Amino acid sequence: MSAQVKLGTEPSAVTRWIILGVVGVIFAIPIIALLQFSFRDGLGGGYTLDHWAGLFDADAARTYRGLFQAIGNSVLLAIVTVAIVLVILLPTMILVHLQFPRLKRVLEFICIIPITVPAIVLVVGLAPVYSVVVKIFGSGVWTLAFAYGITVLPYAYRAIQSNLDAVPVVTLSEAARSLGAGWLTVLRLVLLPNLRRGVLAAAFISVAVVLGEFTIASLLNRVNLQTALLQVGQSDPWVAAIFALLALTFAFVLLLLIGRLARNRNNS
Amino acid sequence: MTSSIPIATTIASSLTTEGATVELIGVVKDYGSHRALNSIDLTIKPGEFVALLGPSGCGKTTALRALSGLELVNGGQILIDGVDVAAVPTNKRDIGMVFQSYSLFPHMTSLENVEFGLRMRKVPADERRTRALEALDMVGLGTFAERFAHQLSGGQQQRVALARALVTRPRVLLLDEPLSALDAKVRVSLRDQIRRIQTELGITTVFVTHDQEEALAVADRVAVMKDGVIEQIGTPEELYTTPATPFVADFVGLSNRVSAELSSGKVLVHGKELDLLGAPQADGPVTAYIRPEDVAIESTGIPATVVASSFLGSLRRTQVVLADGSLLSIQHDVDTRPLPGDAVFLRLKGAPVSAVPRAVNAPVAEVAVP
C-alpha cells in the first residue's frame, strides 16, 4: 500500500524549529566567527578589545579615512539609488497600474531582467555607457547609483507591486478625483499613504543591496564600503571584520523593519 | 421585514442642492473596435432619479463613467445645466459618485473621508467638520465618525461613501451599482434610504444597476440599455406594462415567449386575439411575450399539465406544459395550490403583448427567466 502524500499541510512545530535551528546555525556560524575574529589578538591566540577600541582612537579618523569616506560614498549611493526608485520606478508603476494596465507584464519583465544578469556581465555592458555618463555627469561616485538603480529594480519592483496589488488603487484614485482632487493631490493624499509600506520596503531593500554591492563598484573603479573593506582587510583584517559586522547588522535591522511592516500589513 | 438603518429625521440645509439638468446628446464611446456607447441620447430633469438598467456589457456603467469624466467620450455632447463638460476633467465636473466596490480611503476615518471633498474645495476646517458630521448624521452614522473603513460593515461603508459624495453639494449624484456587494436585507434598506435622501436633497441622480427590481423600486424613470443603446426610457410602470421592444419585455419582469400569429395588428395566441404593443408589424408568425400574471388558471380554457409550483410569499408561480409541449409560467394567488401532474385549464387575460417576427419553423414557446 502506498502512503498518501498530503500536500499543503504545515510542518509540525518541532519540524519548524529544527529547520529554523539548522538555517540559523548556517547563518550564525560565519557571523559568530567574524565576531570572534574581531576580538582575536593576532594569530597567537588570546582576545583583546584593542581592535574595537582602535576605531575610537584620535588617530582612527586619519588611519581609516579611506574607509570612512567609502562609508560616506555608500550612504550617498544608497540615498541616490532610493531617490531613483522613488522618482522613476514608483510613478511609472502607479501610472502603468492606473492608466496602462496592459503594460504591467512588460514592466514586470523589464524590472525582473537585472536579477537574471550576473553583475560581471552587467559591468561589461555598463562600461561603455559609463564613458558617456562620465562626460555628462563627471566621475563622481554618486553616478554609480545609475547602475545600482538597475540592480535594485527586481527587489524594489516586487515590494511596491505587492502593495499595489493589495490596495484598490484604481477605485481610490477615481473616488478622489470625483471629489475634486487633481492627480498630484491623489498621489500625495490618497495613494502614497496607502503605498507607504511598499515604498518603505523598496527603499530599505535598496539600501541593503547598495551597502552590500562590490562587483560593479570594483570593476568600474569606484570606491564604496565593500571595495574599501577589501582594501583595508589586506592591511588590517580585524577592522575589516568589524565593519563587515556593522554593515551586516545594519542590513539585518533594515530587513527586520521590512518584516515588521509586512506583518503590520497582514494584520490590518 | 427589512432591517432598519438609523437615519436623521431632517436633513441639514447645508446639504440640500439644486438639481441640475443633464443631457447626453449623441454620445459615442469606443474601446478599440468595440462600440460601447452608440450615439446615446438622454435628458434628465433637475432632481430626477434615473436608473440605467441592462445586462452586463450593455454600456450602462460606461455611460455613467462618461458622465463622471472617468471615461472620455469619442463623440457627442455631455451637458450639465447646458454646459458641455465632455472635455472637462472629473475633478472639475462637480459630481458626487458612489462606487460598486468599497472606495473609502483606508488610512482616513469616516469623518476624514467625508471631509475630503470639502478639503479639496478649501473649506475652512471648522465648517468642514460641521458639514461632514451633518452628512454622517444624514446617513445615520454620526457616532461612527472616528472609525476607519475596516471597522465598518459593507453597508456602513457605502453609507459613508454616500455622505462623502453628497457633502460637497454636487450638481449630479452618480451611483455605480452601490448596492451590489451588500446582502439582500441591507440592500433593500439602503436602497430606500438612498431614495429618501435623494428626494429630500433634490439632487439629480443617475443610478446604474443590473437588478431590475432595484431600478423599478427607486427610479423616477428607467433607461433600459442593450448593446450600447437605450432601448426604452420610461417610468417603471410604462416599462412593465408597455415595453417598447421584445428585449425590454424580456428583461424587465418575467415573460413567457409564446409562438403566435400576427394578423391585422392583432396577435393570435392559442385562439385568443391580443393587442400588439409597440410599432405595427407585418403579418406572419411571431413570438409573443406574455407576462405570467396575464395568464390565469380557470375551470375551462387551454388544457395544460402542471410541472412545478413555487410559493413566493405573497404569490405563487406555477409552470405548466401545454399540449404542444411548450412551457408557460403563471403567477397566481397563494390560495390556488396546483400539484405537479395536475391537469389545469388556462385563460389569457387579454393584456396587450410585445411580439417579434419568428421564422415559420422556429422552436415553439419557452419560458424566459430573467
Give the domain extent around A91: 64-267
Q: Are residues B294 and B159 in the same domain?
A: no
- Interface residue of A171, A178, A196, A268 to substitute, partner B, most B CBs within 10 Å: A178
Which of B283, B278, B324, B317 is CA-nearest to residue B303?
B324
B355 forms beta bridges with: B288
B97:A167 CB<8 A: no
Domain membership of residue B1 (yes or no) is no
A174:B107 CB<8 A: no
Q: Are residues B55 and B204 in the same domain?
A: yes
The confidence score (pLDDT) of residue A184 equals 94
- Which residues in chain B show pLDDT less than 50? 1-3, 9, 363-365, 367-370
From chain B, the residues in CB contact with A185 under 8 A are 120
Over residues B335-368, the pLDDT tens digits come to: 989 999 999 999 999 888 888 887 655 544 454 4
Which of B282, B274, B273, B291 is CA-nearest to residue B357?
B282
The confidence score (pLDDT) of residue A250 equals 82
Decide: A37 and A238 in contact? Cβ < 8 Å: yes
Which residues of chain B approach chain A closer than 8 Å at the C-beta? 68-70, 89-92, 94-97, 99, 101-103, 105-107, 116-117, 120-121, 150, 161, 164-165, 168, 174
Q: Are residues B158 and B194 in the same domain?
A: yes
B168:A176 CB<8 A: no
Decide: A50 and A121 in contact? Cβ < 8 Å: no
Q: Are residues B195 and B169 in the same domain?
A: yes
A167:B106 CB<8 A: yes
Domain membership of residue B132 (yes or no) is yes
Listed residues B195, B212, B241: the one ending a domain: B241
Domain membership of residue B248 (yes or no) is no
Q: Coil, strand, or helix at residue B296?
A: strand
Amino acid present at A256: L
Over residues A67-104, the pLDDT tens digits come to: 888 989 998 999 999 999 999 999 999 999 999 999 99
Helix/strand/coil (H/E/C) assignment for every residue in chain A: CCCCCCCCCCCCHHHHHHHHHHHHHHHHHHHHHHHHHHCECCCCCCECCHHHHHCCCCCHHHHCHHHHHHHHHHHHHHHHHHHHHHHHHHHHHHHHHHHCHHHHHHHHHHHHHHHHCCHHHHHHHHHHHHHHHHHHHCCCHHHHHHHHHHHCHHHHHHHHHHHHHHCCHHHHHHHHHHCCCCHHHHHHHHHHHHCHHHHHHHHHHHHHHHHCCCHHHHHCCCCCHHHHHHHHHHHCHHHHHHHHHHHHHHHHHHHHHHHHHHHHHHHC
B168:A185 CB<8 A: no
pTM: 0.78
Which residue is closest to A191 within chain B, CA to CA? B105
Domain membership of residue A148 (yes or no) is yes
Domain membership of residue B41 (yes or no) is yes
**CATH at B74:** 3.40.50.300
Q: Are residues B232 and B268 in the same domain?
A: no
Decide: B66 and B122 in contact? Cβ < 8 Å: no
A178:B68 CB<8 A: yes
From chain A, the residues in CB contact with B102 under 8 A are 168, 171
B165:A178 CB<8 A: yes
Q: Are residues B99 and B174 in the same domain?
A: yes
Chain B nearest-CA distance from A184, in A, is: 12
From chain A, the residues in CB contact with B158 under 8 A are none
The confidence score (pLDDT) of residue A65 equals 81
Number of domains in chain A: 1
Q: Are residues B197 and B261 in the same domain?
A: no
**Residue whose cell numbers read 496607502:** A194
The confidence score (pLDDT) of residue B110 equals 97
Domain membership of residue A48 (yes or no) is no
**CATH at B291:** 2.40.50.140
Q: Are residues B170 and B51 in the same domain?
A: yes
Q: Are residues B68 and B162 in the same domain?
A: yes
The confidence score (pLDDT) of residue B16 equals 61
Amino acid present at B210: H
A194:B105 CB<8 A: yes
Listed residues B241, B262, B278: the one ending a domain: B241
Domain membership of residue B351 (yes or no) is yes
**CATH at A69:** 1.10.3720.10
Number of domains in chain B: 2
The confidence score (pLDDT) of residue B219 equals 95
Listed residues B241, B271, B301: the one ending a domain: B241
- Which residues in chain A show pLDDT less than 50? 1-3, 268
Over residues B249-307, the pLDDT tens digits come to: 888 888 898 889 999 889 999 888 999 987 788 899 998 889 999 999 988 999 999 99
The confidence score (pLDDT) of residue B2 equals 42
Q: Are residues B298 and B194 in the same domain?
A: no
Give the domain extent around B334: 254-368
Q: How many CB pairs under 8 A join A and B?
A: 65
Chain B nearest-CA distance from A176, in A, is: 8
Q: Are residues B109 and B207 in the same domain?
A: yes
Q: Are residues B136 and B96 in the same domain?
A: yes
Decide: A231 and A217 in contact? Cβ < 8 Å: no
